[in-house]
Chain A
Amino acid sequence: MKRHFRDIVPFDQDSADRAIEEGHGLHPLDEYLKPGRIPHIWCPGCGLGVVLTTYIEAIRRKGIPVDKCVVVSGIGCTGRVAGYLDMDTYHTTHGRAIPFATGLALVRPDLHVTVFSGDGDLFAIGGNHLIHGARRNINLNVICVNNFNYGMTGGQAGPTTPVDARTSTTPMGNAEPGFNLPHLAHASGAVYVARWTTFHPRQLVHSITETFDKKGFTFIEVIAPCPTGYGRPNKLGSGLEEMRYYKEMSEVRNGADPSKAEIRLKGKILCGTFINVERPDFLETYNNLVIAKAQGRDKGKAA
Chain B
Amino acid sequence: MSFWRLPLDSEEHSIPHGKINIIKSRCKGCGFCIEFCPNGCLRESKAFNEKGYHPPEVIDDTGCVDCGLCTLICPEFAIFTELQEAKKITEEDIQKVTTRFSRKDTRYRKP
B36 / chain A contacts, CB cutoff of 8 Å = 199, 243
A 37-55 to B, binary, CB cutoff 8 A, 1 in contact else 0: 0111010111111101110
CB distance from B9 to the nearest CB of A (A): 25
A50-B35 in contact (CB<8A): no
The number of chain A residues touching the other chain, given as a range, is: 20 to 34
One of A27-35, A68-76, A89-97 contacting the partner = A27-35
**Is the contact region of chain A dominated by helix, strand, or loop, or is it mixed?**
helix
Interface membership of A26, Cβ < 8 A:
yes
Contacting B76 at CB < 8 Å: which of A38, A54, A201, A238?
A38
- Complex: how many Å from CA A23 to CA B78? 11
- Complex: how many Å from CA A30 to CA B30? 20
B69-A53 in contact (CB<8A): no
Interface membership of A79, Cβ < 8 A:
no
Contacting B69 at CB < 8 Å: which of A52, A198, A202, A243?
A202
One of B21-29, B84-92, B101-109 contacting the partner = B21-29
Contacting B71 at CB < 8 Å: which of A30, A52, A53?
A53
B72-A44 in contact (CB<8A): no
B72 / chain A contacts, CB cutoff of 8 Å = 50, 53-54, 57, 201-202, 205
Question: Closest chain A residue to B35 by CB distance?
Answer: A240
CB distance from A85 to the nearest CB of B (A): 12
Scan residues 59-104 of chain B and give those whose CB is less than 8 A from a CB of chain A: 69, 71-78, 80
Question: Do A27 and B77 contact each other (CB < 8 Å), given the known contacts A38-B26, A44-B53, A243-B32?
Answer: yes
- Complex: how many Å from CA A53 to CA B76? 9
**Residue among A44, A47, A238 having the largest count of chain B Cβ atoms under 10 Å:** A44
B74-A49 in contact (CB<8A): yes
A49-B77 in contact (CB<8A): yes
Question: Do A39 and B76 contact each other (CB < 8 Å), given the known contacts A201-B69, A240-B31, A243-B36?
Answer: yes
B 14-55 to A, binary, CB cutoff 8 A, 1 in contact else 0: 000000000101101111100110000000000000010100
Report the number of A-B residue pairs with Cβ-Cβ less than 8 Å: 71
B77 / chain A contacts, CB cutoff of 8 Å = 27, 29-30, 33, 38, 49, 53
A33 / chain B contacts, CB cutoff of 8 Å = 77
Interface membership of A189, Cβ < 8 A:
no
Contacting B80 at CB < 8 Å: which of A27, A202, A238, A239?
A27
Interface membership of A244, Cβ < 8 A:
yes
A48 / chain B contacts, CB cutoff of 8 Å = 75
A44-B35 in contact (CB<8A): no
A29 / chain B contacts, CB cutoff of 8 Å = 71, 77, 80
CB distance from A31 to the nearest CB of B (A): 11
A50-B75 in contact (CB<8A): yes
CB distance from A180 to the nearest CB of B (A): 26
